[in-house]
């Protein structure tokens, strides 16, 4: 069977989500709206946290990086998806495709570990409030964030090294709307068993380790909260974690559904729905979740607006 690699072909063809013009127009309008809300929401969150000194706490330091990751995450995928929906150009260069995969995996992995750091922050705040400022020092928070980025980069680099060894048979048509490991492996004619195993181990380790850290943090939080006598105290403690819990459930639910299975079993229908949700929709939801369910953010917005009017 004839094979090709980047020395023979210089691009892939992205099939996209649909061939129906009417649906393409609807999806392009919908995705453009979602992307604009994502950009405005995440940049707005970053600016509010930067401008309001009362939000200069560990929790909002992590939230700033979460907003940056969501903004970057969406920008890696959505603009190219919009181009494919609005034009007849469905191609993406070989290097462009693998660059998209690299940053997609890097940002996704980093977000997993960042969510773990945020869970630990909530654990310290609730279980050890008197020593919170000492334990969650600015230096320690910076270390947690740095480690998150480093681990995300390691995961992405291993993924890229594995994907770079693949050969592709005749067709360069990717049955998806963006470059991801699953549809590319499904396209390959190489023996992908070892590659799938390595990617599965690293992706699974990222999800498993971060989930263990999050679960351990919340089990400790639950144990602490159950010891609180007053109902109002319990409600207040749970309310500080509510936004993070919602974000974790949505993010990990779709990630696990899509990635922790054989890449050869990639399904064009249901897998694409899940992919659209966590690549395009979730980056928009996080700033909404953390702002609409958080009175501190609402008050900060009010203070920033009043301050700007006085100037």
Instruction: Look at residue 109 and tell me if it is in a domain.
Output: yes
Task: State the CB neighbour count (10 A cutoff) for residue 169.
Answer: 13
Instruction: Look at residue 81 and tell me if it is in a domain.
Output: yes
Which is higher by pLDDT, 188 or 233?
A: 188
What domain count does the chain have? 1
Instruction: Look at residue 126 and tell me if it is in a domain.
Output: yes
The per-residue pLDDT for 64 is 94
Phi-psi region of 170 (alpha: psi -120 to 50; beta: other; left: phi over 0): left
Q: Which two tokens stand for residue 308?
A: 């700007």
- pLDDT confidence band for 123 (50 / 70 / 90): very high
The per-residue pLDDT for 299 is 73
Instruction: Look at residue 255 and tell me if it is in a domain.
Output: yes
Instruction: Look at residue 153 and tell me if it is in a domain.
Output: yes
Instruction: Look at residue 3 and tell me if it is in a domain.
Output: no
The per-residue pLDDT for 7 is 43
Tell me the residue ranges of DSSP E strands in 42-178.
91-93, 168-169, 173-174
Q: Is 229 helix (H, G, I), strand (E, B) or coil?
A: coil
Instruction: Look at residue 250 and tell me if it is in a domain.
Output: yes
Instruction: Look at residue 166 and tell me if it is in a domain.
Output: yes
Structural contact between residues 122 and 94, judged by C-beta atoms closer than 8 angstroms: no
* CATH number of residue 219's parent domain: 1.20.1070.10
Distance CA 37, CA 185 (A): 33
Question: What is the percent of the chain with per-residue pLDDT over 90, rounded to a whole number?
Answer: 36
Determine the structural domain holding residue 198 and report its residue range: 9-310
pLDDT digits (tens, 9 = 90+) for 196-230: 898 888 888 888 899 999 999 989 988 888 887 77
The per-residue pLDDT for 176 is 83
Q: Is 169 helix (H, G, I), strand (E, B) or coil?
A: strand
Picking from 17-26, 133-142, 168-177, 289-298, which range would have the lowest pLDDT averaged per residue?
289-298
pTM value is: 0.87
- pLDDT confidence band for 86 (50 / 70 / 90): confident
Distance CA 284, CA 83 (A): 19
């Amino acid at each position: 069977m004839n094979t090709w690699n980047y020395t023979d072909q210089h691009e892939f063809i992205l099939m996209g989500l649909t061939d129906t013009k009417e649906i393409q127009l609807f999806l392009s309008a919908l995705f453009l709206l979602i992307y604009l809300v994502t950009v405005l929401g995440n940049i707005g969150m970053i600016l509010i946290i930067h401008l309001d000194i009362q939000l200069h706490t560990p929790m909002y330091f992590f939230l700033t990086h979460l907003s940056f990751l969501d903004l970057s995450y969406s920008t890696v995928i959505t603009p190219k998806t919009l181009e494919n929906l609005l034009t007849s150009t469905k191609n993406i260069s070989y290097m462009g495709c693998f660059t998209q995969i690299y940053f997609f995996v890097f940002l996704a992995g980093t977000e997993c570990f960042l969510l773990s750091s945020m869970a630990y922050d909530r654990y310290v705040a609730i279980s050890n409030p008197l020593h919170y400022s000492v334990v969650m020092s600015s230096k320690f928070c910076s270390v947690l964030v740095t480690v998150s980025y480093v681990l995300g980069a390691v995961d992405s680099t291993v993924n890229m090294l594995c994907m770079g060894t693949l050969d592709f048979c005749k067709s360069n048509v990717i049955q998806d709307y963006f470059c991801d490991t699953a549809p590319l492996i499904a396209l390959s004619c190489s023996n992908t068993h070892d590659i799938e195993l390595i990617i599965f181990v690293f992706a699974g380790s990222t999800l498993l380790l971060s989930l263990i850290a999050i679960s351990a943090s919340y089990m400790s939080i639950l144990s602490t909260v159950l010891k609180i006598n007053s109902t109002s105290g319990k409600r207040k403690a749970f309310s500080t974690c509510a936004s993070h819990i919602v974000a974790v459930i949505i993010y990990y639910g779709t990630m696990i559904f899509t990635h922790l299975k054989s890449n050869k079993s990639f399904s064009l229908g249901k897998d694409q729905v899940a992919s659209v949700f966590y690549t395009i929709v979730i980056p928009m939801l996080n700033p909404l979740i953390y702002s609409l369910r958080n009175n501190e953010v609402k008050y900060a917005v009010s203070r920033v607006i009043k301050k700007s009017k006085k100037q």
